[in-house]
Amino acid sequence: MRRASDDLVAEIEVRIASGQFENNKPLPAERDLMDMFGASRTVVREAISTLANRGLVETKPRFRPVVKKPDYGTVLTATSNIIEHLLSEPGGVTDLYRSREFIERSLARHAALHANKDDIADLKSALAANYEAIDDTPRFFQTDMEFHGVLYKIVRNPIFPAIHEGYLSWLSPSWGKMKRAPDHNLVNYHAHKKIYDAILERDPVQAENAMDEHLAVAWEVVKDTLENK
Amino acid sequence: MRRASDDLVAEIEVRIASGQFENNKPLPAERDLMDMFGASRTVVREAISTLANRGLVETKPRFRPVVKKPDYGTVLTATSNIIEHLLSEPGGVTDLYRSREFIERSLARHAALHANKDDIADLKSALAANYEAIDDTPRFFQTDMEFHGVLYKIVRNPIFPAIHEGYLSWLSPSWGKMKRAPDHNLVNYHAHKKIYDAILERDPVQAENAMDEHLAVAWEVVKDTLENK
DNA sequence: ACTATGTTTTGGTCCGACCAAAACACAGGT
DNA sequence: ACCTGTGTTTTGGTCGGACCAAAACATAGT
Note whether A50 and A96 are same-domain residues: no
Helix axis angle, A137-154 to A117-132, nearest 10°: 170
Q: Is A84 on the interface with B (CB under 8 A)?
A: no
Note whether B101 and B55 are same-domain residues: no
Cross-chain CB nearest to B78 (options A17, A78, A102): A78
Q: Residues with Cβ < 8 Å from B135, sequence gap 6 or more?
A: B182, B185
Note whether B131 and B169 are same-domain residues: yes
Cβ proximity of A48 and A30 under 8 Å: yes
Which among B92, B98, B2 is positioned nearest to B47, based on CA atoms? B2
- Residue in chain A lying closest to B62 (CA): A1
End residue of a domain, out of A33, A67, A101: A67
Residue of B9, B30, B86 to mutate, testing the A interface (most A Cβ within 10 Å of its Cβ)? B86
Tell me which chain B residues have a C-beta less than 8 angstroms from the C-beta of A86. Answer: 70-72, 75
Q: Residues with Cβ < 8 Å from A203, sequence gap 6 or more?
A: A112
Residue B208 above 70 pLDDT?
yes
Type of residue numbered B135: D
Q: Is A99 on the interface with B (CB under 8 A)?
A: yes
A32 beta carbon to strand D: under 7 Å: yes
Which nucleotide is closest to B2, CA to C1'? Answer: D13
Give the gap in angstroms from C-alpha A55 to the nearest C-alpha of chain B.
8
End residue of a domain, out of A44, A67, A90: A67
Note whether A39 and A126 are same-domain residues: no
DSSP string, B30-61: HHHHHHHHT--HHHHHHHHHHHHHHTSEE--T
| pLDDT one-digit tens code per residue, A139-158 | 878 899 999 999 999 999 99
Q: Is A3 on the interface with B (CB under 8 A)?
A: yes
Number of H helices, E strands in chain B: 10, 2
Q: Which of B22-26, B79-83, B150-154, B183-187 has the lowest mean pLDDT?
A: B183-187
Cβ proximity of B39 and B33 under 8 Å: yes
Check which CATH number belongs to the domain holding B46 and give it: 1.10.10.10
Write down the pLDDT at residue A226: 63
The DSSP element (H or E) to which B138 belongs, if any, is: helix B137-154
Note whether A215 and A168 are same-domain residues: yes
| pLDDT one-digit tens code per residue, B17-30 | 888 888 888 888 89
In eight-state DSSP terms, residue B29 is P
- Residue in chain B lying closest to A79 (CA): B75
Note whether B102 and B200 are same-domain residues: yes
Check which CATH number belongs to the domain holding B173 and give it: 1.20.120.530
Write down the pLDDT at residue A227: 55
| pLDDT one-digit tens code per residue, B105-119 | 999 999 999 989 999
Distances in whole angstroms, Cα of residue B202 to Cα of each of A126, B113, B205, B207: 36, 6, 9, 8
Q: Which residue is nearest to nucleotide C23 (CA to C1')?
A: A63
Q: Is B110 on the interface with A (CB under 8 A)?
A: yes
Cβ proximity of A72 and B91 under 8 Å: no
Q: How far is the CA of B42 from the C1' of C18 (A)?
A: 15
Residue B229 above 50 pLDDT?
no
Tell me which chain A residues have a C-beta less than 8 angstroms from the C-beta of B83. Answer: 75
| Residue range B187-205: mean pLDDT, rounded | 91
Note whether A102 and A188 are same-domain residues: yes
Q: Identify the domain containing residue B85 by its residue range.
A: 74-228
Residue A177 above 80 pLDDT?
no
| pLDDT one-digit tens code per residue, A102-141 | 999 999 999 999 989 999 999 999 989 888 888 887 887 8
Higher pLDDT, A159 or A183: A159
Note whether B154 and B187 are same-domain residues: yes
Residue B94 above 80 pLDDT?
yes
Type of residue numbered B66: V
Instruction: State the total domains in chain A.
Output: 2
| Residue range B2-26: mean pLDDT, rounded | 85
Note whether B37 and B149 are same-domain residues: no
Q: Residues with Cβ < 8 Å from B40, sequence gap 6 or more?
A: B34
CB contact under 8 A, B105 and A106: yes
| pLDDT one-digit tens code per residue, A188-210 | 888 999 999 999 999 999 999 99
Cβ proximity of B202 and B87 under 8 Å: no
B3 beta carbon to strand D: under 7 Å: yes
Distances in whole angstroms, Cα of residue B43 to Cα of each of B35, B67, B157, B177: 12, 18, 38, 45
Q: Which nucleotides of chain D are near protein (any atom < 7 Å from a CB)?
A: 10-18, 22-24
| Residue range B110-134: mean pLDDT, rounded | 91
Max avg pLDDT among A21-35, A82-96, B154-168: B154-168
End residue of a domain, out of A43, A67, A91: A67
Nearest-5° angle of CA B215, CA B221, CA B224?
125
Q: Is B181 on the interface with A (CB under 8 A)?
A: no
Q: Which nucleotides of chain C are near protein (any atom < 7 Å from a CB)?
A: 9-17, 21-23
Q: Is B59 on the interface with A (CB under 8 A)?
A: no
Q: What is the CA radius of gyration of chain B?
A: 22
Note whether A165 and A113 are same-domain residues: yes
SS3 A111: helix
Note whether B99 and B173 are same-domain residues: yes
Mean of all residue pLDDT scores within chain A: 86
Write down the pLDDT at residue B181: 67
Which among A99, A107, A76 is positioned nearest to B164, based on CA atoms? A99
Note whether B142 and B123 are same-domain residues: yes
Which nucleotide is closest to A44, CA to C1'? Answer: C13
